[in-house]
Structure 1
Amino acid sequence: MKHSLIKTCMRCMRRDPLISILLIVLMAAAIFLAVIPPLILARFIDDLTIHQTFTVPTVLLYFGSIAAAGICEAGKNALIADFGQKITHALRTEMSEKLNVLPSSHYVSMASGETVSLFTNDIDTIASLFDEGIISMIVDLGTLISILGVVLVKSKGLFLLLLILLPFLYFVTRVLQKKMYQANMANRRAVAKSTQLIPETIHNILALRIYQKQKWMEDKYDRTIGESFAAVNQANFCDAIYSPIILTTSACAVAVMMCLSAGNETARSFFGMSAGTAVALIAYISSVFAPLESIGMEIQNIQSAAASISRVESFLNLPEKSEQCAIIDRTDNAVDINHIYFRYAPDEKEIFHDYSLHIKQGDMVTFVGRTGAGKSTLFKLILGMYQPEQGSVHIFGQCPYDISEEKKRMVYGAVEQDFRLIHGTIRQQITLDNPAVTDEMVWHALTTAQLKDTVASFPKGLDTICTSEIFSQGQFQLLSIARAIVCDPKLLLLDEITANLDANTEQIVFQALKEASQDRTVISISHRLYQANGGTEIEIS
């Protein structure tokens, strides 16, 4: 089902209909009260000029209508902000859920900075669509139409004058809208690039310093900042010239109206104004152009939000990973790979062509082969991170991408070359906040990984905040083993886990792996691990 922001808005309105109804009522009241004060003021002025008197109720009604308009405006703005927060919260929730169902190939083709920009910059911009954008624009348009209706009744001449001016203003508005939309799209792209460059620089800082390439990254970052600066300047320029155009046109309209009203009898009759009506119409002229000025100020928010909506909707409508796969009812194998064909992209080299592999339960298998032969790719296929173009992959008779999130850690565990540290305690590093994992299971995993004594020596034990300083590189690999085996999986996958370790640390890790491999099927990419623990060596070529 195709996603759209309108559907998200409708769902939020159905969840909380009272706020939606109250917002609509306040919007209608704000439009109505925008035309009332000048009419009351006109009556007050006419009473003074014609009857040389005025009534206290008229004065009270005038100030009361202004106060009521202010209260409606404040209530409307508060509800708009609340409604906008509900929409953005719903969007962030949908986007988080979308991340879990995207195929792994998406993360290969899309830079992480671009995804971060969607969750931060684009969602914040969409929030401004409600705070200072489309809802306020609807009220302004309603106010404009209401004022024009009153002007038509009071002065056909002024109404005709406004009809002559409005097409010109509409043309100016449309031209500036297009230019600001293009500028904001360019700014969004530049922000996404710069967001990606910061973590890329931090991640590669050592290599950049070794090869003296800091200036190269600085130049890349400066170019993206320059692109963003130029786009923002173009949008700001269009926004800046709009208000003076509106104000100048308003002043000219008032001057023309007053000059024609002071002319011959026919002109005075056509403009049909008493003193009170003249004051009211001058107020209405300002009121007519004020919404247009506000619309001009809101155009930038609306157009910027439109660009962000397009990007967010494109993300939410990305194809999801397929979940259709036949189940093998009975098998003695831990892994069954049957006649698979795979490449990362249609225009890239084929990695597997009609490839098959069967690994029995309880076997210890090591993949060997030249760099780029497909060892890590085969791991990813077994884990369900990618799907073959043809053929099938099964783990214990099930498609890996069909295994539910709750059961995955009981089926397989994976130890990578580097430990993936998350913010949190040692317990959270292992459990990944899975409530089904008890402290008893955590301590058992740490014992198997030969890290129990180290963790127990910390004053807070499992509640110790885990940082990169409290463990050595080898101990982090032991922690990674504990994370992989804590749910007692039947299959353990090891991806070059000793590649960055010295010989002494490597032996400690080997000993921990020997304990962790008991009664499990183990698949590894490590020739040294094969030499240490034996098993079956399979060459990937």
Structure 2
Amino acid sequence: MSRLTIKDPAKSKSSETFLKVLRFIGRYRFLLILSIILAAVSVILQLYVPILFGNAIDQVIAQHQVNFEMMWYYLSRILVMVILSSAATWLMNVINNRMTYQTVKDIRAKAIRHIQVLPLSYLDGHSTGDIISRIIADTDILSDGMLLGFTQLFSGIVTIIGTLIFMFSKNFWITLMVIVLTPVSFLVAKFISSHTFQMFRKQSDARGRQTALIEEMIGNQKVVQAFGYEEKSSERFAKVNEELQECSLKAVFYSSLTNPSTRFVNNVIYACVALVGTFIIPGGRLTVGGLSVLLSYANQYMKPFNDISSVVTELQNALACAGRIFDLLEEEPEVAEASETLKDVKGEVDIKNVCFHYDESKKLIEDFNLHVKPGMRVAIVGPTGCGKSTFINLLMRFYDVNFGSISVDGKPIRDITRHSLRSSYGMVLQETWIKNGTVRDNISIGKPEATDTEIIEAAKLTHSWEFIRRLPKGLDTMLNEDSLSQGQKQLLCITRVMLCLPPMLILDEATSSIDTRTELQIQEAFERMMEGRTSFIVAHRLSTIRNADLILVMKDGSIIEQGTHDELIAKGGFYHTLYNSQFAKVSE
């Protein structure tokens, strides 16, 4: 009858994570080997010191019979050994520091690069705070665990091997007794540490949720205060905080049992060495100096077990955090890039039988068909949630269609590079983004080589120059996310596109945060900008799209009406109702 072997998932996960960390460390194998050599040198020199002490003690032959000359000889050698050992230890720590922080730097750099190629579906499905926690907090904990691990592990292994060799040279049977009793200490440490990995994993997850909640509340503090959500927000934080406290206490408590447990076992071994040694000294098989050497070695032999067991907490915590980092690094990236680039874009867009959904259980866009000629202005209108912004995401290939195809100038967008596709569009969204940098940096994102004259000209066309010139340092004023009003941010985003003037435009509620007077002025700039360019305009204010060549009326992911403004009004359908609902009072 065959025996079924069941693997412990926590142990398996911990081992896999450790191997992944080793693969990153492998890039610095020269430093790793040098660190091991220095650890060996440092430990061997330290282990030679007890022998010299034992020899010095044996120079005390009897009362008033002391060989001071040899004693001072041994003591001077001890001093040299201690100095050399300290120098080797210092150099080993420097190397371990460098190796650890280089490895963590590589992991962080890879994580940031990987985020750039992850599909938006992953970023939409995970909170920003949790992702930040993985890259910053988890990697910090990993570096602390690695640093302690390397320092204790290398020295500990060499110490264990070296002490056994020196102890065998002094007394075989006492050394054998120490080896036989050692597995007890191992078993105790292994039993406790094998049950703590999952606890630290839960602690890391709770810390990620806490970071996400803090980022969410601080980033939206105005909304929190405006709706009197402070108390509810504090309750949510208290709940997550309490969960983190509970996970942390359990993880640290159980893992902290390792060190005192192994120390107890090791002290018992030390007492056994002392007891057996005192019994064999009268028989002449061991001297007093020899016993002092064995006791010193027994203490040094057991010290690595104590040190390593005390580091187990940090190592388990580090591996749990590393597991979260590798979960991010192993997420499937976007579909591989095609090799063909889009050049000399005319702006002809074909959409054939496109179907798309974020969630398989909820259909969104079904059997979408559209042919857009170069230079056409296509407006997309419809109720909230009908698929307007999703359609834009598909055009830019932020998401890939589930079925059907989208082509630009006869080339399916799956067959061209994302960069060449996206650089062919100028995009102004309702949601704005301002990076930390000068006004000039923010405007010239799409055209870094632009001159100040070009930037100012574009700013004047979009009427953003009015507030830019009033800033303390004009174009050199440093900005962050809170430096400007929402309307000013949107004007800067429009200026970016005006500066680049790509062959195709996407305007998704591009003037939603701008006052009516400025909007009328910007419409003139948009008219000039859209001339001869294929443009897709998403708008709730239907007055802004009356001059569109084609208006698509969407509902539940499908085009239910299409035509010019006059055609759709004359038709008296859904668009007619939508339009009249906005302008009924004006017409009255």
Global fold match (TM > 0.5): yes
Displacement of 1:479 in angstroms is: 1.1
Higher deviation after alignment, 393-402 or 70-79: 393-402
**Contact 2:426-2:504 at 8 Å conserved across structures:** yes
In structure 2, what is the equivalent of residue 73 of structure 1?
A: 89
The question of 1:218 aligning with 2:219 is answered no
| Structure 1 residues 325 and 345, CA gap change in structure 2 (3 angstroms) | farther
How far, CA to CA, are the matches of 1:218 and 1:97 in structure 2?
Answer: 35
The question of 1:282 aligning with 2:288 is answered no
How far, CA to CA, are the matches of 1:217 and 1:249 in structure 2?
Answer: 49
2:45 to 24, 33, 55: 33
The one-letter amino acid of 1:528's match is L
Displacement of 1:221 in angstroms is: 1.2
Higher deviation after alignment, 431-440 or 231-240: 431-440
In structure 2, what is the equivalent of residue 383 of structure 1?
A: 396
Secondary structure in 1 matching 2:367: strand
Higher deviation after alignment, 320-329 or 448-457: 320-329
The question of 1:507 aligning with 2:520 is answered yes
Give deviations 1:119-151, integer Å, cap 9, x for gaps. 101111221233111453132122112212322
How far, CA to CA, are the matches of 2:271 and 2:425 in structure 1?
Answer: 81
**Contact 1:335-1:359 at 8 Å conserved across structures:** yes
How far, CA to CA, are the matches of 2:121 and 2:543 in structure 1?
Answer: 30
**Contact 1:510-1:529 at 8 Å conserved across structures:** no
1:336 to 350, 361, 368: 350
How far, CA to CA, are the matches of 1:351 and 1:531 in structure 2?
Answer: 24
The one-letter amino acid of 1:334's match is E
How far, CA to CA, are the matches of 2:339 and 2:305 in structure 1?
Answer: 61
**Contact 1:323-1:401 at 8 Å conserved across structures:** no
The question of 1:450 aligning with 2:466 is answered no
How far, CA to CA, are the matches of 2:403 and 2:344 in structure 1?
Answer: 22
Give deviations 1:334-386, integer Å, cap 9, x for gaps. 3222222211133x312122322221221111111222111100100111110
In structure 1, what is the equivalent of residue 203 of structure 2?
A: 187
Higher deviation after alignment, 43-52 or 472-481: 43-52
How far, CA to CA, are the matches of 1:23 and 1:429 in structure 2?
Answer: 46
The question of 1:256 aligning with 2:277 is answered no
Give deviations 1:423-476, integer Å, cap 9, x for gaps. 111111112386434434322321321223432344522101225676443332
Higher deviation after alignment, 354-363 or 508-517: 508-517
How far, CA to CA, are the matches of 1:457 and 1:243 in structure 2?
Answer: 65
How far, CA to CA, are the matches of 1:496 and 1:399 in structure 2?
Answer: 27
Higher deviation after alignment, 365-374 or 315-324: 315-324
| Structure 1 residues 301 and 402, CA gap change in structure 2 (3 angstroms) | farther
How far, CA to CA, are the matches of 1:510 and 1:472 in structure 2?
Answer: 20
Secondary structure in 2 matching 1:355: strand
Secondary structure in 1 matching 2:195: helix
Secondary structure in 2 matching 1:252: helix
1:539 to 553, 558, 563: 553
Paired residues, number = 532
| Structure 1 residues 374 and 272, CA gap change in structure 2 (3 angstroms) | farther
How far, CA to CA, are the matches of 2:171 and 2:446 in structure 1?
Answer: 70
In structure 1, what is the equivalent of residue 173 of structure 2?
A: 157
Higher deviation after alignment, 123-132 or 453-462: 453-462
Higher deviation after alignment, 70-79 or 150-159: 150-159
Higher deviation after alignment, 240-249 or 150-159: 240-249
The one-letter amino acid of 1:25's match is I
The one-letter amino acid of 1:26's match is L
Give deviations 1:233-260, integer Å, cap 9, x for gaps. 2233234433333443343333333333
**Contact 1:474-1:506 at 8 Å conserved across structures:** no
The question of 1:366 aligning with 2:366 is answered no
How far, CA to CA, are the matches of 2:408 and 2:295 in structure 1?
Answer: 79
The question of 1:241 aligning with 2:260 is answered no
The question of 1:227 aligning with 2:239 is answered no
Secondary structure in 2 matching 1:260: helix
| Structure 1 residues 433 and 335, CA gap change in structure 2 (3 angstroms) | closer
Supply the RMSD in Å over aligned alpha carbons: 2.9
In structure 1, what is the equivalent of residue 54 of structure 2?
A: 42
The one-letter amino acid of 1:65's match is M
Higher deviation after alignment, 317-326 or 279-288: 317-326
Give deviations 1:2-27, integer Å, cap 9, x for gaps. 994333322344xxx4x445323212
Secondary structure in 1 matching 2:58: helix
Displacement of 1:402 in angstroms is: 6.5
Secondary structure in 1 matching 2:102: helix
Displacement of 1:223 in angstroms is: 1.7
How far, CA to CA, are the matches of 1:401 and 1:11 in structure 2?
Answer: 36
**Contact 1:530-1:537 at 8 Å conserved across structures:** no
In structure 2, what is the equivalent of residue 394 of structure 1?
A: 407
Secondary structure in 2 matching 1:414: strand
1:421 to 434, 441, 444: 434
How far, CA to CA, are the matches of 1:408 and 1:426 in structure 2?
Answer: 26
Give deviations 1:42-87, integer Å, cap 9, x for gaps. 1111222377314233211112112211111111111100111111
The question of 1:439 aligning with 2:439 is answered no
- Share of identical aligned residues, percent? 23
How far, CA to CA, are the matches of 1:132 and 1:40 in structure 2?
Answer: 30
Secondary structure in 2 matching 1:132: helix
Displacement of 1:482 in angstroms is: 0.8
Give deviations 1:395-439, integer Å, cap 9, x for gaps. 344555776576566411111113212211111111238643443
The one-letter amino acid of 1:156's match is F
| Structure 1 residues 400 and 444, CA gap change in structure 2 (3 angstroms) | farther
| Structure 1 residues 402 and 106, CA gap change in structure 2 (3 angstroms) | farther
How far, CA to CA, are the matches of 2:528 and 2:442 in structure 1?
Answer: 20
Displacement of 1:98 in angstroms is: 0.8
5+ residue gaps, structure 1, are: none
How far, CA to CA, are the matches of 2:344 and 2:458 in structure 1?
Answer: 30
In structure 2, what is the equivalent of residue 430 of structure 1?
A: 443
Displacement of 1:103 in angstroms is: 1.0
Where do residues 13-24 of structure 1 align in structure 2 (5 Å cutoff)? Answer: 13=29, 17=30, 19-24=31-36
In structure 2, what is the equivalent of residue 107 of structure 1?
A: 123
**Contact 2:433-2:481 at 8 Å conserved across structures:** no
How far, CA to CA, are the matches of 1:532 and 1:189 in structure 2?
Answer: 51
How far, CA to CA, are the matches of 2:282 and 2:440 in structure 1?
Answer: 85
The question of 1:520 aligning with 2:533 is answered yes
**Contact 1:474-1:501 at 8 Å conserved across structures:** yes
**Contact 2:120-2:398 at 8 Å conserved across structures:** yes
